[in-house]
A and B are shown apart, each in its own frame.
Chain A
């Protein structure tokens, strides 16, 4: 069956450290993978998109890797801050047709001062 999995347990880290979140998928062949941030009670906000032929993408303190062999994406936040505390969702974008995104359940990140 097709699955997209993110660690359901919250990730707790100390301010200033690097947070690494994992997204694994099975039986999908995504053309793109996206990461979103969601604050409690709010709609998700787009952060980064990486294509299947890209290994890594960076934006300020954020870095995403995409390994289509391992079927895994890693999302890194360097020099983390308490304001980075939120739930982070990965989403697979399948090729063809309309823009269908398959979302993972998300991982909650808590950055402690």
Chain B
């Protein structure tokens, strides 16, 4: 069966510090990978998606970047965090490229920028 792991689960970072959130998927190959952010009381906002190694698309301009160094690894980064980067970050994957496929989410990472 497929599993998705995301870490760290919680982190508190000072403004201006770097960020690295990691995500790996097991039990499947060539997954589509996604990073979402969820602010309190708001919907999930798609930040990045990737259809293959080294292929990253950004949905919104921001202070974050993503990389996919391996087929089943997805990393969310920032060089200098802002207060507005605080939120609940979710990594996710789906099997195929087309619409209508289920997206499977990780357990999320709580980021507090202080």
Q: Which of B13-21, B64-72, B75-83, B94-102 contacts A (4 or more CB under 8 A)?
A: B94-102
A32 to B101, CA, bound (A): 9
B90: contacting residue among A43, A49, A93, A97, CB under 8 A: A43
A23 to chain B, nearest CB (A): 11
Q: List, in ascending order, chain A residues with CB within 8 A of B87's CB.
A: none
B105: contacting residue among A45, A93, A105, CB under 8 A: A45
Q: List, in ascending order, chain A residues with CB within 8 A of B90's CB.
A: 43-44
A44 to B34, CA, bound (A): 13
Interface string of A83-101 (1 = CB under 8 A from B): 0000001010111111111
B113 to chain A, nearest CB (A): 18
- CB–CB A44/B105 < 8 A: yes
A43: contacting residue among B32, B41, B92, B101, CB under 8 A: B92
A30 to B106, CA, bound (A): 25
- CB–CB B108/A43 < 8 A: yes
A13 to B46, CA, bound (A): 32
Chain A binding surface, main DSSP class:
loop
Q: List, in ascending order, chain A residues with CB within 8 A of B74's CB.
A: none
- CB–CB B99/A44 < 8 A: no
- CB–CB A101/B107 < 8 A: no
B41 to chain A, nearest CB (A): 7
Which residues from 34 to 76 on chain B have a C-beta closer than 8 Å to any C-beta of chain A?
36, 41-44, 46, 49, 51, 57
A100: contacting residue among B41, B42, B99, CB under 8 A: B99
- CB–CB B43/A32 < 8 A: no
A77 to chain B, nearest CB (A): 19
Contact A49 to B99, CB < 8 A, known contacts A43-B105, A105-B41: no
